[in-house]
Amino acid sequence: MMSPETRRFYTAYRLQTSVIPVYLLTALFFMLGWYFNPFIPGRAGTFLIDGVVLFVGISRLASLAGFLLSQVPRSIVEPDLQQAQKLAAALEPFDEGAIVSLVEIGKVPFLAAGGLTPTIWISSHSLARLGAEDLSCLMRHEGEHLRKGCSLAWWDFLWLLAWPLAWLFSSHAPMYAASAVMFAWAWLRLQGWLRWRDELRADRAAADACGRDNYARAMVRHLAEFETVPSSPLRRSRLAALGLSPAEIDGVLQD
């Protein structure tokens, strides 16, 4: 069951890593699309901003800015001897070339990859409650996220829609503002779907590396604290995506 502490942490984490940067940058970007638009007569706009957005990838900067604003990077602690030995045992079977940072955020399950440098972040709570074999499987999952990196993808081009929308609604500022709000909403939905797809891809890579059953049990132990209802929809959906049958899923959840 999800504890109140876990719920509070992840509510703040989602606000900082998704909603706030996406909405703020969407508002900023649509303002630029309005005031510096080369398609609208009388505007002194150029295509320079288009190039900056295209090559920098504003969506990735939004995610990175949100992460840096979150509690995680400010909660790094040095592992004690026992914690360091457990981390070493978990990392021994593979080498992802990543830094592993231990964070103290209370009794909150947390395991993620990213940051300015290739880093796997793990909370002291998760390190204490998971075995070395489970941690090794879960870190393979995070290692897959690191291998994917932060390269540009086709959806980064969607930010360029601000320019034709500004031209279309150049004489209707309220409609342009409404389109910005709708765009931000659609962008958040898209980001949610893309994160889900990335999670499933990383699940399959980790399952191939350490065995499907081993990874399934490690994932279930980690995700158990995120479930708030007995039917376990989060764990069931992730296990089903690994190819487990309903009977196999019931068996894993009962272990």
**pLDDT (tens digit, 9 = 90+) per residue, 186-206?**
888 888 888 899 999 999 999
User: Is a pLDDT exceeding 70 seen at residue 150?
Assistant: no
pLDDT tier at 94 (50, 70, 90 boundaries)?
Answer: low
Identify the pLDDT of residue 111.
94
What's at 179, amino acid-wise?
S
| CB-neighbour burial class of residue 112 (10 A; exposed 0-12, middle 13-18, buried 19+) | middle
Token readout for 56 is 């920098």
Say which range, 39-48, 57-66, 69-78, has the weakest mean pLDDT: 39-48
Identify the pLDDT of residue 212.
94
Q: Please state the rounded mean pLDDT for residues 77-100.
A: 84
Contact 134, 222 (CB under 8 A): yes
Q: How do 99-103 and 76-77 pair as beta strands?
A: antiparallel
Buried b (16+ CB within 10 A) or exposed e, 54-88: eeebbbeebbbbbbebbbbeebeeebeeebeebbe
pLDDT tier at 241 (50, 70, 90 boundaries)?
Answer: very high
**Which residues have C-beta within 8 Å of that of residue 244, sequence separation ≥ 6?**
212, 216, 252
Cβ neighbours, 10 Å, residue 246: 10
* Residue from 84, 135, 140 nearest 110 by CA: 135
Identify the pLDDT of residue 96.
61
Identify the pLDDT of residue 50.
62
Task: Select the highest-mean-pLDDT range: 76-80, 169-173, 179-183.
Answer: 76-80
pLDDT tier at 159 (50, 70, 90 boundaries)?
Answer: confident
pLDDT tier at 123 (50, 70, 90 boundaries)?
Answer: very high
Identify the pLDDT of residue 158.
79
pLDDT tier at 69 (50, 70, 90 boundaries)?
Answer: confident
- The region that residue 23 occupies, defined by phi over 0 for left and psi between -120 and 50 for alpha, beta otherwise, is alpha
Identify the pLDDT of residue 151.
62
Token readout for 227 is 């479930």
Q: Please state the rounded mean pLDDT for residues 95-110.
A: 87
- The region that residue 106 occupies, defined by phi over 0 for left and psi between -120 and 50 for alpha, beta otherwise, is left
User: What percentage of the chain exceeds 90 in pLDDT?
Assistant: 39
Q: What are phi and psi of 154, to 5 degrees?
A: -60, -30
- Helical axes 246-254 vs 212-223, angle rounded to 10°: 60
Could you give the strand order of the β-sheet that contains 119-123, starting from the edge strand earlier in sequence? 76-77, 99-103, 119-123, 111-114
pLDDT averaged over every residue in the chain: 85
Tokens 């409609």, residue located: 175
CA dihedral 104, 110, 111, 117 (to 10 degrees): -50
Identify the pLDDT of residue 45.
59
Distance in angstroms between the alpha carbons of the first and the last residue of the chain? 16
51-57 contacts at long range (C-beta below 8 A, 24 or more positions apart) = 53/29, 53/159, 53/160, 54/152, 54/156, 54/157, 54/160, 55/152, 57/150, 57/152, 57/156
